[in-house]
Amino acid sequence: MGIKRYFNDFTALFFAQACAGCDAPLVDGEKHICTSCWYHLPETHAHEDQHNSSARQLWGRVRIEAVASYWYFREASRVKRIIHHLKYRNRPEIGTVIGQRYGAILADAAPFNQADVIVPVPLHPKKLRKRGYNQSMFFAKGLAHSMRLPVVEHGIIRRRATQSQTRKNRYERYENMLETFEANDIGGIAAQHVLLVDDVLTTGATLEACAGTLLENGAAKVSAVTIAKAL
């Protein structure tokens, strides 16, 4: 037994990881998500349908080529537990594993496979300090690996914390989000078809604001993908 293998087995004793979706112990070859969960995860197949519900949500709001989400997000579901581990339990590599899988699918799906660069939705610096990582960046890394695309990590940055949205009407919320993002690496996005990536699509306000910012700053086209879509 090689020393590395020994070390891996040794550390596994103390850090035996459970599946992020169902808590079952992972077996050899499984990373973060068990085989049974992969089989049961609710794929949207949105990349096959230009008029999918994620895309329709952005219609009339921003000029975006295509939108797709990998899974449906339901309460008390495997997807919800996986996203929770990804964001709040210090397991950012889950995002990379998901990105690799989804990227392998998107590599054959137009127009996603015509993108030039990947840009993750940024976290606010305060949140980033607290969490230690941007989960969307890890998802982006996995996508980049399978789609053979570069990541422009700081293509967009957040200017300030998003204020509470609860007391604002829809237009005010939109205005608020617009103020939140700005292009940072203009050289990296100019004249590019940008694949914008985020964790969960809920109201669409974040994708809308980020896509708008990218287009205003010279991106030729924007498509977007998320890990999950709230129902």
Can you tell me the distance from the alpha carbon of 57 to that of 228, in angstroms, rounded to the nearest whole number?
A: 14
How far is 196 from 222, CA to CA, in rounded Å? 7
CA angle 154, 221, 227 (to 5 degrees): 60
**Shortest spacing between CB 229 and Zn ion, in angstroms:** 20
Nearer to Zn ion, 41 or 62 (CB): 41
Q: Minimum Å distance from CB 37 to Zn ion?
A: 3
Query: Cα–Cα distance between 67 and 54 in angstroms, integer?
Result: 6
Q: Which residues bind Zn ion (CB under 5 A)?
A: 19, 21-22, 34, 37
Query: Minimum distance from CB of 94 to Zn ion (Å)?
Result: 12
Q: Which is nearer to Zn ion, 23 or 48 (CB)?
A: 23
Closest to Zn ion by CB, 26 vs 157, is: 26
Whole-angstrom distance, CA of residue 178 vs CA of residue 107:
30
**E strand residue ranges, the chain:** 67-73, 117-120, 156-158, 181-183, 193-201, 221-230
Smallest CA-to-CA distance from 97 within 195, 29, 182 is with 29
Distances (CA, A) of 46 to 83, 112, 143, 155: 19, 12, 16, 25
Nearer to Zn ion, 61 or 81 (CB): 81
The two beta strands, 221-230 and 67-73, are parallel
Nearer to Zn ion, 19 or 197 (CB): 19
Is residue 198 within 8 Å of residue 205, measured between CB atoms? no
In the complex, minimum distance from the CB of residue 145 to Zn ion, in angstroms, rounded to a whole number: 22
Question: How near is the Cβ of 31 to Zn ion at its closest, in Å?
Answer: 12
Cβ proximity to Zn ion, 37 vs 67, nearer residue: 37
DSSP at 231: -
Question: Residue 101 Cβ, how far from Zn ion at the closest point, in Å?
Answer: 14
